Structure 1
């Protein structure tokens, strides 16, 4: 689901930038290139999108196990949903500094215009994702410095957004039962 959310934003931003530039900029938003062991490469003359953090949304977390109802009328314990927030960094890496600022401004305008994304307004959003909302994250100079140092990248014009909320739930597997012998695992799944 993480991949679906990221590619959704990439496609939507690319379409928005293409419209706003009259077709001059195509596929401007691209993902970072990760080179082993830990080098992050920014795309040239593009906005580089990078997932920099995942955090559990603790407000919606319940310590109690949920009950899963089976077709035969019985129920059994099930794990609660995992709700995650994403932190997406959009970095302008253009040879022409002013052009980079212009395109980064379009990213800011996009997220200002569209703060809530659901399947009704955006049919290309994965059906697994009920809705996403975005908000800009303000970092202090010290926090910005720590972020750039941890990425081992030069400080560049950028915008950081918090995306709420991707909900992971497993409808197929209710629980895993381990057998007497080490390594023997039987999966018990519910039928729909």
Structure 2
């Protein structure tokens, strides 16, 4: 579910960038993938993957949080004469880091501008996954301040690069089975009262 969500964002972004109106002064033509889904954190033995991320925009999921305002859904609902019980869905907000990993600083800024343009034009994304679940994601820029940004890049183990964080809400998870019962309309008993 998370992977299909992030792959959908990558696909839509790359399609958006290939449109003629979003190409910035001839800087993006001829590239099939501008944004890639990868872990920007520096791990041991990561040299081979570093080459794949060079001169790209990198999308990294940096955290998940539960949407507390939707946590207390009532698990029982009535549909016609049937009472249905199901645990409430888990609603998630995703914090997405878009890092511009380019040798030239001006190219990094140019590509980071594409992220801003994309989310200005696409504040909502609706998509259906392979299990026919439909998701509506709403994006907003998430500011964390200089100190927290420094801490984030320290935890990621790399040097700071031009980046922006977007908060995507609401992705839901619902895997609990349905349990239900029909309304009792009559009672049959074979027991008789002794007189």
TM over 0.5: same fold?
yes
Alpha-carbon deviations, 1:51-80, whole Å to 9, x = none?
A: 000000001111x6512679xx66464211
Q: What residue in structure 2 maps to residue 118 of structure 1? A: 126
CA RMSD of aligned residues (A): 3.0
Is the aligned partner of 1:99 residue 2:107? yes
Is the aligned partner of 1:32 residue 2:42? no
Q: Which runs of 5+ in 2 are unaligned?
A: 182-195
Answer whether contact 1:90 1:159 (CA < 8 A) is retained: yes
Tell me the number of residue pairs that the alignment of Structure 1 and Structure 2 aligns.
169
3-state SS of paired residue (1:130): strand
Match of 1:83 among 86, 91, 105: 91
Structure 1 or 2: larger strand share? 1
Structure exhibiting the larger radius of gyration computed from Cα positions:
2
Q: What residue in structure 1 maps to residue 69 of structure 2? A: 59
State the TM-score, normalizing by the size of structure 2. Answer: 0.75
Q: Matches of residues 1-192 of structure 1 in structure 2 within 5 Å?
A: 1-19=1-19, 20-21=22-23, 23-33=29-39, 43-62=53-72, 66-67=75-76, 75=83, 77-119=85-127, 125-126=128-129, 127-170=132-175, 173-174=177-178
Which whole-Å CA distance do the structure 2 matches of 1:50 and 1:38 have between them? 19
Q: Which runs of 5+ in 1 are unaligned?
A: 120-124, 176-188
Which whole-Å CA distance do the structure 2 matches of 1:167 and 1:17 have between them? 28
State the TM-score, normalizing by the size of structure 1. Answer: 0.76
